[in-house]
Amino acid sequence: MSEKITDYSDYEYKKIFWEKGDRRYEDFCDHLALRRLLPKRGEKLLDVCGGFGRLADVYLPRFTDCTLFDYAQKMLDLAKSAHGEKLKTAQGSVYALPFANGKFDAVSMVRAAHHLADLPAAVAEIARVLKPGGRAVIEIANKRNILEILRWCCGRSKMRPFSLEPASRNARGFYNFHPRYAEKIFAQNNLRIKKALGVSNFRLPVLKKIFGAPLLCFKEKLVQGLSGRLKLSPSVYYLLEKK
């Protein structure tokens, strides 16, 4: 198991990545997918690697007891400042979640897997804290997306989109996964796939410039379901049920 943890303590993640980076479209895509996949009602939810609580507005109205877990205390403080006592927070490593077996009815992990050098270990921990019959929503960065396939065919990428092993673009991480690799890990941890969505289908900068975020958001609504069956999008969201 890798001990390397991505730490956002010294990075203005909210301001630099989301606000200055003008990622309104990506934010919409994540909210839409999570709203579609999370149970409508429940008691205990855990948001793994939840950062500053960007997606808390999706699950707080649906669950009575919500906990946001992250490695960076700075992110937890921002989440607490935004959502107050409605949202519990906990700090630690995704490879050793500080919760009892079967504690949660639902678990989400969005925009975190690409930081994980040991995805199997993280998924095992998520499965451990999820109760039997509970639901998990896990997002992965998809190495077999259509753009990466085109890059590889043109000789512009060495990622090999059809191979099953995880791939990283640089020494800092940012891991991409083949859907079948992730699905094998889910099966090994008794997590049954209930549904998949293809997400962020139009996130190319040139498309944002030509069409603008509102139109791309409208198009995203139409294609997430079909894209989830094809699994050619940059992100794949899985709805999983623990056996």
For the stretch 59-114, pLDDT in tens is 999 999 999 999 999 999 999 999 999 999 999 999 999 999 999 999 999 999 99
Residue-number span of the structural domain to which 224 is assigned: 13-242
Is 3 domain-assigned? no
Q: Convert the pLDDT of each residue in 188-207 to its tens digit.
A: 999 999 999 999 999 999 99
Do the domain assignments include residue 227? yes
Distance (Å, whole) CA 111 – CA 3: 19
Q: Work out the angle at residue 135's Cα, subtended by the Cα atoms of residues 194 and 44, and round it to the nearest 5 degrees.
A: 165
Report the CATH number that the domain containing residue 20 is assigned in CATH.
3.40.50.150
Specify the number of domains making up the chain.
Answer: 1
In a domain, 2, yes or no: no
pTM: 0.95
| CA dihedral of residues 61, 62, 64, 70 (deg, nearest 10) | -80
